[in-house]
Amino acid sequence: MPGEFGLTGKGAKELFLALARTLPYSAFDFSCEVAANHLAVFLGFYFWEQSDVTTDGLDEAARDEVLQAMRMHWSRGGRSSIPLGLVERRYERP
């Protein structure tokens, strides 16, 4: 459960949906939230890779875009040697 910034107190599903809503309008805020809540992102990433988000208004392409943005942010920081998730996927932009 995140403990910093605007995501405080959110569970895994709510955290992902909040980040998914943040990314389109502010990549900066998205990056700040991922950095501030890195433990929750690390722990939730595998779950999010496997989750069906279509019931929450996102399609798989939107989910994959958010996951790719998380991976990109993660790979540029001090935790880049620690992989996110267990499923290696290739994300392609349309």
Where do the structural domains in the chain lie, given as residue ranges?
8-75
Q: What are the pLDDT digits (tens) for 3-58?
A: 556 677 778 888 899 999 999 999 999 998 888 888 899 999 989 988 887 778 88
Tokens at 43, concatenated: 């722990």
Give CA–CA dist 58/56, Å, rounded.
6
Q: What are the pLDDT digits (tens) for 52-93?
A: 877 788 888 999 999 999 999 888 878 878 888 765 555 555
| pTM for this model (two decimals) | 0.78
| pLDDT for the residue 22 | 92
Q: Do residues 40 and 4 lie in contact, with contact meaning Cβ atoms separated by under 8 Å?
A: no
Give CA–CA dist 79/84, Å, rounded.
10
Residue type, 63: R
| pLDDT for the residue 27 | 93
| pLDDT for the residue 85 | 77
